[in-house]
Amino acid sequence: MKPLKEVAGAYLALSDAQRQLLESKYDEAAASCRKAMEISRTMPPEEAFDHAGFDAFCHAGLAEALAGLGSFDEALRSADKALHHFNRRGELNQDEGKLWISAVYSRALALDGLGRGADALPEFRKAVAMLDERKGETPGKERMKAVSSERIAALGASKKQQKPEGYKAWWEFWS
């Protein structure tokens, strides 16, 4: 039997983090995600609890909170940990689907914040496509779509402005 107190406490802390993310309280959300992981680790490994899945849930929220705080290296590591789990399992239920999208979105934010726009652009596009395909409610959906669309436009414009290596304008050949 699962230790109900620990399970309830872990999920409560994760729920608090999701609410705090919607309110842009990134410090509090990061602390709540870390607290949820700490509580879940107090359960014995032999308990029938999906520790890896729960950690992925927490890392999805933590990645978004860290990106909001400007800690892009840490945000990228957390997003990648979450995506390692979600990409292997696929969207199995409503909660995992929401967090999977959040992890993709957070990865895009982190890559963009690290100045890796070429890597961030397809991730933002993937996040928008996932949000458009999703039938169920996704908290923060409109905000994620707006930010992603804005970043896609900006990154797409900067990508078009970059010239290929060795590029010379027509007039440079004659000077």
Q: How far apart are CA 117 and CA 156, in angstroms?
A: 9
**What's the confidence (pLDDT) of residue 3?**
73
pLDDT in tens, 85-96: 988 876 556 667
Q: Which residue has the higher pLDDT, 45 or 82?
A: 82
At the top level of CATH, which class does the domain 1-162 belong to? mainly alpha
- Two tokens at 94? 């409503």
**What's the confidence (pLDDT) of residue 62?**
97
**What's the confidence (pLDDT) of residue 38?**
94
The answer to whether 130 touches 83, Cβ cutoff 8 Å, is: no
Q: How far apart are CA 44 and CA 35, in angstroms?
A: 17
Q: Which residue has the higher pLDDT, 133 or 37?
A: 37
Q: Where are the domains of the chain?
A: 1-162
